[in-house]
Amino acid sequence: QDAATLFKTKCAMCHGAEGQGKPSVAPKLAGTTKTEAAIAAVLTRGGEPKSPHIKPMSSVTPEQATALAAFVKTLK
């Protein structure tokens, strides 16, 4: 699966189709200052306080997390 499709199926329902975020649901990802490595780490290891990502996303492989992180960094 390409990263855009992964984002659509695994992230967009909470973070919005363009990464714009949804109030009271999930933060904006477009324009994030997090590095690709930090984004991938949140997906694979968890650790994001007060969010569904406090735990790792078991449905995302490390390779998918890396691809998703790169895609998130393209969102403006």
Q: Is the pLDDT of residue 9 over 90?
A: yes
The amino acid occupying position 42 is: V
CA dihedral for 28, 32, 34, 40, sign (positive or negative): positive
Closest to 42 in 3D by CA, of 10, 13, 1, 20: 10
Whether this prediction's pTM lies above 0.85 is answered by yes
DSSP state at residue 22: B
- pLDDT tens figures, 43-65: 999 998 888 899 999 999 999 99
